[in-house]
Amino acid sequence: MTKRHKCSWVLAAVLASILCVSCLGPNNATGRVGHWNAQFDGKWKREGMFLLLIPVYIVTSIGDMLIFNSIYWWTGDNPIDPPEVDNASTFG
């Protein structure tokens, strides 16, 4: 095994250990977008906004999985505040 091959394996192991730190977390960034989207009246308005916001959901989901939930796992503190919860359901 060449030195370059060994370095590639070490780099892959380090990246895997960083990316696999349990990304299951509170997903606060995506939750905030979803909470904002739920504020629209009527299911058709919410669906239309959801379709328009698909790129935003993708970016916030990736941010949650790779950055914010990893920070939360390592430090116990999430840099994104969770969305405020209303007592009344906004999904009806």
The whole-number pLDDT of residue 92 equals 47
The whole-number pLDDT of residue 87 equals 52
3-state class (DSSP) for residue 48: helix
**Residue 26 neighbours by CB distance under 10 Å:** 15
pLDDT tens string, the chain, 92 residues long: the values are 787 888 888 888 777 766 665 557 889 999 999 999 999 999 999 999 999 999 999 999 999 988 898 888 888 888 888 888 765 444 44
The whole-number pLDDT of residue 36 equals 93
Contact by Cβ (8 Å): 28, 80: yes
